[in-house]
Structure 1
Amino acid sequence: MTTNRRTLLLAAALAAPTVKTAWGQGRVTLKLGHLANEQNVWHRACLKLAEEAAALSNGRIEVQVFPNDTLGREMDLINGMQLGTADMTITGETLQNWAPLASLLAVPYAVTSIQQMDAVAGGPIGQQIAAEIVTRARVRPLGYFARGPRNLTANRAIRTPDELNGLRLRVPNVPLFVSVWQALGARPTPMAFGEVFTSLQNGTIDGQENPLALIRSANFNEVQRFVNVTEHVWSWIYVAISERRWQAMSAADREALTEAMRRTQAYERGLFTEDERNLEAELKAKGMTFVPSDQQAFAAKARPASIAGVRAEAKPLLEQMLATRA
């Protein structure tokens, strides 16, 4: 290459606009994909996260939010986060595929109130779970959102485990859920969610269990008369970032994103509390009757099956969770 040619190339490079690296002090773009729709509390909270992250970083951090699995399903996103091809998602017990302690996010009657959930998720137990997720799954929980408790719907009131009396109950294909409901006295039947309404309608099953949001969105009020308030699973779900992305960020941007998540978590709690009240009122208006259940009786009968159903590595921490109920 001639001297004149080198001079021209250097001049062109100096004249071109400077492009800062994505993970230096320049602009940081994070794509956050999740499964919820635009009306969901989680999606609205993620938009708040984007707003706070931009404000706290003087516009350096842009969180782009993609609902409805438009970036891919949960497992696809987790795999991408591990490889460095995806940035963020909302995820929970699915992480047990890599980190056994993540199974503790949804153990029946391990947590029996939102206050206990906060004590667990935000305390030393939650820190141990999150640390294992970082080490083994290579994704980093930034904070957590509340999930509505799962309740049992049926066409009869059920206040105690004895009143289950062989109820044919749809459950997700989760072995722990099957064993716990068997121990409680039901006849659990794993079934895809899309088949539940028709199965309730034609009498193939007698009941199902889900949070109020899904009971409403699936129109189960049309085929079920009672919401039996068992609240048998209180759980949380993480907003997580790829550990590769996190390690590549500057200390200042990590601090900004952490504070943005802290504010978002508090914001989401307000949305969640209001949403649960509205869901109950709406389902009652649609004709469903809410029946208080003897949750202590359910919890006591479920406990042996819950402990037996988790992996050996998770049992000591589950015992600690159960002790926080006292």
Structure 2
Amino acid sequence: MVAAWITALPRSPRVLRRTALGALLGAASGLARAAKPAVLLRFSHVVAPDTPKGQMALRFQALVHERAGGRIRVEVFPDSQLWGDDDEMEALRLGAVEMLAPSLSKFGNAGVPEFEVFDLPYLFADLAQVQRVTQGAVGRGLLQRLGRQQMLGLGFLDNGFKQMSATRPLRTPADFSGLRVRVQASRVLAAQMRALGARPVVLPFGETQRALASGVVDAAENPLSNFLTQGLAPWQPHLTLTQHGYLGYAVVSNPRFWASLAPTDRALLDSALADALAHGNRLAAALDQQALATLRRTPGVMLHQPAAAERAVLRRAVQPAWDGLRRSLGPGLLDDVQNALITG
């Protein structure tokens, strides 16, 4: 019932949801205590169940149920049913939820700016390159840094590469001129859009469809699975396959909750999550291809494939985003990431 109350609350202004978080935290905790098993783990996320993240969360839930015999219960809340983009991290810190999988772009504003490296345009060529970073020493170091902000980093999940959608094709920097583009709250993403002549507009993911429908924004960047499951085609008929940026997630938990678990329970959850993440990462590439095939058959959707020369022009145009991040973070992390891409 508490989840239903929160879902019914207006999404903006953000202060309303933050006020609701404080007011309903006690009620939510009370209801959870009244009916919880030995361990109750609430897993909240903001996308649809049939996305890589949605499927990963459901696989994690099923594996825990199977291996714990019902003694540990995982409740999954998709589509911002429990907490939205703008308040889920605060909910985690306050103990109103035990597990999240926020977009990597969100951690910069949450006090871990090193994660903004994942927002650099044209950094990765494919998911194999991404995993050289996330599954290696660089990724482990980044997860450890989340402890500075009262989050325990547990693993990375792929969603895929972002494409541009708008009411016109976006093949050249001139095509972006003057467009209001929805982005996540990331300095790198905002710098990227400004370099292209567009105006970045920061909005929670759950508000994207409404913003496009009402004309608050003109364009957006999304992996194909998100574009499809959010039903953006009626307002964004032109989909340009720019493959310009990566979108992934980090699974995080509340450190106090994790520390409160018995060692055997932590081991069980760690094992189930590792298997669920492997499943989600396998799905990411497959669902991306399925979404592309579906969109090719969708009436009214026009797909555009920039030529190699057009992609090179776009890559040069967004160089200021690279320069800005190198100035703010220093060369160390960028060098580590690029070395990981080379050495594998």
Q: Same fold (TM over 0.5)?
A: yes
Partner of 1:260: 272
TM-score of the superposed pair, with normalisation by structure 1: 0.77
Task: Verify the 8 A CA contact 1:111 1:321 in the aligned structure 2.
Answer: no
The amino acid across from 1:316 in the alignment is G
Partner of 1:321: 337
Please state if 1:108 is matched with 2:124.
Answer: no
Q: Which runs of 4+ in 1 moved over 6 A?
A: none
Task: Verify the 8 A CA contact 1:82 1:138 in the aligned structure 2.
Answer: yes
Task: Verify the 8 A CA contact 1:100 1:314 in the aligned structure 2.
Answer: no
Displacement of 1:74 in angstroms is: 4.2
Displacement of 1:234 in angstroms is: 0.9
When residues 149 and 241 of structure 1 are mapped into structure 2, their CA distance, relative to the original with a 3 A threshold, is same
The amino acid across from 1:170 in the alignment is V
Aligned residue for 2:275, secondary structure, equals: helix
Displacement of 1:189 in angstroms is: 4.5
Partner of 2:26: none
Partner of 2:239: 227
Displacement of 1:264 in angstroms is: 0.4
Partner of 1:69: 80
Unaligned runs of 5+ residues in structure 2 are 1-32
Aligned residue for 1:91, secondary structure, equals: coil
Partner of 2:27: none
Partner of 1:151: 163
Q: Distance in 2 between matches of 1:217 and 1:41?
A: 11
Task: Verify the 8 A CA contact 1:87 1:241 in the aligned structure 2.
Answer: yes
Q: Distance in 2 between matches of 1:81 and 1:310?
A: 30
Match of 2:102 among 58, 78, 91: 91
Q: Distance in 2 between matches of 1:247 and 1:78?
A: 18
Partner of 1:248: 260
Percent identical pairs in the alignment equals 20
When residues 225 and 141 of structure 1 are mapped into structure 2, their CA distance, relative to the original with a 3 A threshold, is same
- Bigger shift: residues 146-155 or 188-197: 188-197
Q: Distance in 2 between matches of 1:322 and 1:301?
A: 20
Q: Distance in 2 between matches of 1:251 and 1:165?
A: 52
Match of 1:34 among 40, 45, 48: 45
Match of 1:121 among 120, 125, 134: 134
Aligned residue for 2:305, secondary structure, equals: strand
When residues 208 and 165 of structure 1 are mapped into structure 2, their CA distance, relative to the original with a 3 A threshold, is closer
When residues 77 and 253 of structure 1 are mapped into structure 2, their CA distance, relative to the original with a 3 A threshold, is same
Task: Verify the 8 A CA contact 2:46 2:85 in the aligned structure 1.
Answer: yes
Displacement of 1:308 in angstroms is: 0.6
Task: Verify the 8 A CA contact 2:44 2:77 in the aligned structure 1.
Answer: yes
Q: Distance in 1 between matches of 2:156 and 2:168?
A: 35
The amino acid across from 2:77 in the alignment is F
TM-score of the superposed pair, with normalisation by structure 2: 0.74
Displacement of 1:218 in angstroms is: 5.0
Partner of 2:303: 289
CA RMSD of aligned residues (A): 3.0
C-alpha offsets along residues 72-125 of structure 1, whole Å, 9 cap, x if unaligned? Answer: 224533223323343111213323222222323323223332111111111111
Task: Verify the 8 A CA contact 1:121 1:236 in the aligned structure 2.
Answer: no
Task: Verify the 8 A CA contact 2:127 2:160 in the aligned structure 1.
Answer: no
C-alpha offsets along residues 204-226 of structure 1, whole Å, 9 cap, x if unaligned? Answer: 84x44322234334554445554
Task: Verify the 8 A CA contact 2:44 2:83 in the aligned structure 1.
Answer: yes
Task: Verify the 8 A CA contact 2:193 2:200 in the aligned structure 1.
Answer: no
C-alpha offsets along residues 245-266 of structure 1, whole Å, 9 cap, x if unaligned? Answer: 1111122221111111111012
Displacement of 1:33 in angstroms is: 1.4
Q: Distance in 2 between matches of 1:72 and 1:311?
A: 34
Displacement of 1:174 in angstroms is: 4.2
Partner of 1:13: none
The amino acid across from 2:285 in the alignment is T
Aligned residue for 1:271, secondary structure, equals: helix
Match of 1:132 among 142, 145, 158: 145
Q: How many residues align?
A: 295
Match of 2:225 among 205, 208, 213: 213
Structure of higher CA gyration radius: 1
